[in-house]
Amino acid sequence: MDVVIQLADSSIRLATPLLLACLAGLYSERAGIFDIGLEGKMLAAAFTAAAVAAVTSSAWVGLIAGVMASVAFSLIHALASITLKGNQLISGVAINFLASGLTVLIGQNWFGQGGQTPQLSPDSRFLGIDLPLAETLGNIPGLGPIYQFVISDHNLIVYVAFAAVPLTWWILYRTRFGLRLRAVGENPGAVDTAGISVTSQRYAAVLICGVLCGISGAYLSTAMSAGFVRDMTAGKGFIALAALIFAKWRPWPALGACLLFGFLEALGIRYQEIDLGTLVIPVQFMQALPYILTVVILAGFVGKAVPPKAGGRPYVKER
């Protein structure tokens, strides 16, 4: 039982950055801007948040700085893919390298610790919050420990990430902004002829993507761990992308996909290999599983992942 609860707990912790980045990608890609630069934006935010938190001793100032760094990268992506009608995929690749290089270069220059930021003290981090009555209810057998250890005692960003799922659903399907966002990803011509600016709608989506990636990155360095280390995202941005495809670009399934991938990661951390008697599953397989599953989904063997129709293409008025 303890093992299950611990696994569930760490799944949630590990799913949080994926979920934020996945929703970030969702806003961008539903608006027709492909983003394989989630990883880079997270990394930039993780570094900036940790560096600023270390200097100011404030997790909140760090978070804001991290979000701003991520948004700055988003603006580069928006400039390339919307204004200059460049290749969105190549722009994403460039952003990933830019973040990977700049974070370490600047980190080394500022702190001289091989690209790391100084260890953050607890008061410059986001720490767990005890939900009301966690201790009391924890004694109830069965559901009690689940409440105390799985649902309670996470930091604020975890709750923000999970709250972002219904919020995103509501924005997407119940508001004018969401209607226009989805429309611009399916048929920008329809949006343009309806008298709405395709450019500003897409910029807005990409900026939201930047904000969410920023929170995700800040979570990595100031909540989940206590400082930034070189390439600390370690592919999480791509797992988030995989989850987005897995979820077919919808918010609720995104939650499910991120929890699944978070769980796989938690398993991999806990067990070096899983012995099923005749079959031993190595940890590397668990690490690769999100990617394998995504390829299977993309191949259409299990359901079919169809991206937003206008995704990846700059909008050019047709004669």
Partner 1 sequence: MNPQLPKWADLVLIPALNLLLAFLAAGLVVIFIGEDPVEAVHWLVVGALGSSYGLGFTFYYATTFIFTGLAVSIAFQAGLLNIGGEGQAAIGGIGVTLVCLALPWPHWTLALPFAILGAGLFGAAWAIIPGYLQAKRGSHIVITTIMFNFIASALVVYLLVNVLKVPGSMAPETRNFAPGTNLPFMHEMLGAIGITMTPTPMNFSAILAFLAAFGTWVLIWRTRLGYELRAFGHSEPAAVYGGIDPVRITVITMVISGAMAGMMALNVVMGFQHRLVLDFVGGAGFVGIAVALMGRSHPVGVVLAAILFGILYQGGAELAFEMPDISRDMIVVIQALVILFTGALENLVRAPVTRMFGRVRPRTT
Partner 2 sequence: MNENAGIVSDLAIELVGISKSFGAVQANKDIHLPVRRGTIHGIVGENGAGKSTLMSILYGFYEADAGEIRIDGKPTAIRDSQAAIRAGIGMVHQHFMLVEPFTVLENVILGAENGALLRPALAKAHNELTRLAREYELQVDPDAVVGDLSVGFQQRVEILKALYRECDILILDEPTGVLTPAEADHLFRILQNLKSEGKTILMITHKLREIMAVTDEVSVMRRGEIVKTLETARTNPAELAELMVGRRVLLRVDKAPAKVGPVLLNVQDLDLVDRNGIGRLKSISFNVRAGEILGIAGVAGNGQSELLEVLAGIAPATSGAVSYQGTTLDIGRITSAEERRSCGIAHVPEDRHRRGLVMPFAEWENSCLGYHDEDRFKGPLRTLKRSAIRNLARECIERFDIRPPSCDLKTANFSGGNQQKIVLAREIEREPNVLLIGQPTRGVDIGAIEFIHKQIVALRDRGKAIILVSVELDEIQALSDRILVMFDGRISGERLASETDERDLGLLMAGIDPKHGEAA
Task: Work out whether 200 is an interface residue with partner 2 (CB under 8 A).
Answer: no
Separation CA 178–CA 181 (nearest Å): 5
- Packing angle, helices 156-174 and 2-30, rounded to 10: 40
* Tokens describing residue 197: 């600016």
CB 210 within 8 A of CB 269: no
Shortest Å distance, C-beta 61 to partner 1:
21
**Interface with partner 1: number of residues (CB under 8 A):** 46
Candidate residues 60, 110, 149, 177; the one interacting with partner 2 per rule CB under 8 A: 177
Q: Which does 235 bind (CB under 5 to 8 A by kind): partner 1, partner 2, none?
A: partner 1
Residue type, 291: Y
Q: From the list 41, 77, 125, 182, which residue makes contact with partner 2 (rule: CB under 8 A)?
A: 182
Residue 273, beta-bridge partner list = 282
Cα–Cα distance, 293 to 290 (Å, whole number): 5
Per CB under 8 A, 190 contacts partner 2: yes
Nearer to partner 1, 16 or 88 (CB): 88
Residue 189's binding partner among partner 1, partner 2, none (Cβ under 5 to 8 angstroms by kind) is partner 2
Amino acid identity at 109: N
| Contact region with partner 1 (CB under 8 A), list: 4-12, 46-54, 96-104, 138-146 | 96-104
Q: From CA 124, how far away is CA 279, in angstroms rounded?
A: 45
Structure tokens belonging to residue 308: 């937003």
Where do contacts with partner 1 occur on this chain (CB under 8 A)? 36, 76, 79-81, 84-91, 93-98, 100-102, 104-106, 108-109, 115, 235, 238, 241-242, 245, 282, 284-285, 287-288, 291-292, 294-295, 298-300, 307
